Amino acid sequence: MIGSLADFARLAREKGPKKMAVLAPEDEEFMTAVKASWEKGYIEPVLIGDGGKIAGVAEKVSFSIDPFEKISRADPQGISDLGIGMLFSGETPIAGKGQIPTSYIYRSIIREEAKSGSGMTVSVVTFWEIPGIDHLVAFTDTGVNIKPNLKAKREIIRNAVFVYHLLGYPRPRIAVLSGQRDLGGDLASYGDYRALKEAAEAGDFGSCEIMAATSFTDIFLGRRDRPVDYGRIRGDDMPHILLVPCLDTGNIICKLDFFLDVTRSSLVATSRGPVCIPARSDFSDNIVQQIAMSVVLADRMERR
């Protein structure tokens, strides 16, 4: 069972190097991460993008890219289509996003999933490593679905449960988050919680459990009728998966690592393998961590 980001780093060394289609590594921070991941034995990069820019940035970070396959492409959608195509054809078990808007990547994944007939909805899983919590906690969907309806949320849960099963958690616990409170009537997000809980109980998502909790107050205090006591905040009942109501909520909360003592790491699990999608503001250490996670997920998907 993988319980920490350090576990990913350790396992990535064991399972790597794996071929990774690297899309537009045209930024120093990202190229530094590719270099470090190669040196650690996680990946063997296939560099796709503007040849001149790639060579320039590699030189800046003192990374000799001579030994690696390089494919020159200029337009972002072309770069994305090619890299994601390599993932879906089995040529590389991982794809990773460099300095290219995420929307191009999602578009390519959606097309490939449709072609493959997998029926898989694209969603992003963002892990938090939280001091004092003995497992990784994942927010989803933090990247693709702007305002997912119930049907989309069912798919988002399936994707996250699939990832947790790969990590070795046989029955992940899920909280369907909502701003529901004793004011303002029933929110759509709360209606979704009730429907999803019923569906989980009927076995629609495989082995998992949706908790009777829709807020962090519920998760941490177990009740809402007494005030928080900072000396007694515990995370004993912390779920594995936190389904966020919409993209605004997911993105705003999952990136609180800029503020809080937590470490963040994201990926997209497609039907053919993981896609590493660091934020454009992420730094190289964080990107290396995300690459390690993708390597381990790819290995476990291959073994299935």
Partner 1 sequence: MLNAFKDITEAARRGGSKRIVVPWPTEQDLAVLAEAAAAGLVSPCLVGNGGRLKALVDRSSLAAGTCDILEEDDPRQALLKAMAVVRSGDGDILMQGGAAKSDLFQALRDKDAGWLNPGGVLSLVSVFSLLKREKLILVTDTYINNHPTLVEKQRILGNALDLARLLGMESPKTAVLAAIEQVNPGIPSTLDAAVLSKMAERRQFGRAVVEGPLDIDCALSQVAAKRKGLQSAVTGNVDIYLVPEIDTGLLLAEALVFFGRMKTAGVVMGTTRPVIVDLPFVSRENRVVEIALASLLCRKGGKDA
Least distance (Å) between residue 145 CB and partner 1: 11
Q: Between residues 201 and 248, which has the closer beta carbon with respect to partner 1?
A: 248
Least distance (Å) between residue 220 CB and partner 1: 5
Footprint of partner 1 on this chain (CB under 8 A)? 29, 130, 146, 177-179, 181-185, 187, 189, 215-217, 219-221, 223-230, 233, 244-253, 255-256, 258-262, 279-281
Burial class of residue 206, CB neighbours in 10 A (0-12, 13-18, 19+): middle
Least distance (Å) between residue 233 CB and partner 1: 6
Least distance (Å) between residue 289 CB and partner 1: 16
**All residues at 6 or more sequence positions from 184 whose CB lies less than 8 Å from its CB, including other chains:** none
Q: Between residues 6 and 260, which has the closer beta carbon with respect to partner 1?
A: 260
Least distance (Å) between residue 85 CB and partner 1: 25
Q: Between residues 203 and 227, which has the closer beta carbon with respect to partner 1?
A: 227
Q: Between residues 170 and 228, which has the closer beta carbon with respect to partner 1?
A: 228
For 82, 93, 278, the CA distances from 77, given in Å and listed in that order, are 8, 20, 18
Q: Between residues 172 and 250, which has the closer beta carbon with respect to partner 1?
A: 250
CA 135 from centroid of its chain's CA atoms: 15
Burial class of residue 114, CB neighbours in 10 A (0-12, 13-18, 19+): exposed
Burial 173-204 (b: 16+ CB within 10 A, else e): bbbbbbebeeeeeeeebbebbeebbebbeeee
